[in-house]
Chain A
Amino acid sequence: MEPPEYTIEVENLHKRYGKLQAVNGISFQVSKGEIVGFLGPNGAGKSTTMRILTGYSQATSGIARICGIPVACHPHDIKRRIGYMPENNPLPQELRVKEYLKWRAKLKEIPAKDRNKRIDQVLQRCDLERAKSRIIGKLSKGYRQRVGIADAILANPEVIIMDEPTIGLDPHQVILIRDLIARLRGKMSVIISSHILPEIEMSCDQIIIINHGKIVGKGSPRELRKTFINFTSYELEMNGKPVDLSDALLKVAPDMKIENFGEPDEKGFSNVEIRIQGKRDYGEILFDRLANNPLLRVRSFKRKKAPLEEVFLAATRRSWETVETDLAHESSEENEMKIEENADKRDTVKAVG
Chain B
Amino acid sequence: MRHFFTLLRNELWKLLINPGTYIAAFLFLLIIGFFFQAILDEFAKNPQDESPSITFFRLWFVPVFFMVPLLTMKSIAEERNSGTIETLMTTPVTATEVVLSKFFAGYLYYLMLWILTGSFHALFYVFARDPKLFDPYPIIGGYLYLAVSGTLFLSLGIFASSLTRSQLIAGIVSFSLVFAFIVLGSNLNEMAIILPDPPAWIETLAEHANVMEHMLDFSSGVIDTRAFFLFGSCATAFLFISILVLEYREGAC
A residues near B (Cβ < 8 Å) are 51, 54-58, 75-76, 79-80, 82, 84-88, 90-95, 99, 103-104, 106-109, 151
Contact = CB atoms under 8 A, between A and B. Distances in A.
Contact of A90 (B10, B84, B91, B93): B84
Contacts, number: 67
B93 A107 contact: yes
B48 to A, nearest CB: 46
A106 B249 CA distance: 24
Given A86-B90, A109-B2, 17 more contacts: A55-B90, A56-B86, A56-B90, A75-B252, A76-B94, A79-B92, A80-B92, A84-B87, A85-B87, A90-B83, A90-B87, A92-B82, A95-B14, A104-B91, A106-B6, A107-B93, A109-B92
A151 B91 CA distance: 11
10 contacts: A51-B86, A56-B86, A56-B250, A57-B251, A75-B252, A76-B94, A86-B90, A87-B83, A90-B86, A107-B93
Contacts of B253: 75-76
A80 B17 CA distance: 30
A329 B43 CA distance: 82
B90 A79 contact: yes
A90 B82 contact: yes
B252 A55 contact: yes
Nearest to B3: A107
B87 A86 contact: yes
Contacts of B10: 103
Contacts of B7: 107
Contacts of A151: 87
A58 B13 CA distance: 32
Contacts of B89: 56
Interface string B217-243: 000000000000000000000000000
A54 B14 contact: no
B90 A82 contact: yes
Contacts of B251: 55-58, 75
A309 to B, nearest CB: 30
Contacts of A104: 91
Nearest to A55: B251
A99 B17 CA distance: 12
A57 B83 CA distance: 14
A93 B252 CA distance: 24
Nearest to A57: B251
B81 to A, nearest CB: 9
A94 B17 contact: yes
Given A90-B82, A94-B18, A54 B6 contact: no
A104 to B, nearest CB: 7
B90 A91 contact: no
Given A55-B251, A103-B6, A94 B83 contact: no
A108 B84 contact: no
Interface in B1-42: 2-3, 6-7, 10, 13-14, 17-18
> Max chain B CB contacts within 10 Å: which of A54, A84, A88, A90?
A90
A103 B2 CA distance: 14
B92 A108 contact: yes
Interface string B68-97: 000000000000001110111111111000
A107 B6 contact: yes
A80 B92 CA distance: 6
A255 B86 CA distance: 54
Contacts of A90: 82-84, 86-87
A85 B91 CA distance: 11
B253 to A, nearest CB: 5
A283 B136 CA distance: 100
Q: Which of A55, A80, A87 has the most CB atoms of chain B within a 10 A radius of its CB?
A: A55
Nearest to B252: A75
Nearest to A108: B91
A108 B14 CA distance: 19
B180 to A, nearest CB: 32
Nearest to B94: A76
Contacts of B87: 84-86, 90-91, 151
A90 B89 CA distance: 13
A196 to B, nearest CB: 22
A94 B82 CA distance: 13
Contact of A94 (B2, B6, B14, B86): B14
A213 B32 CA distance: 57
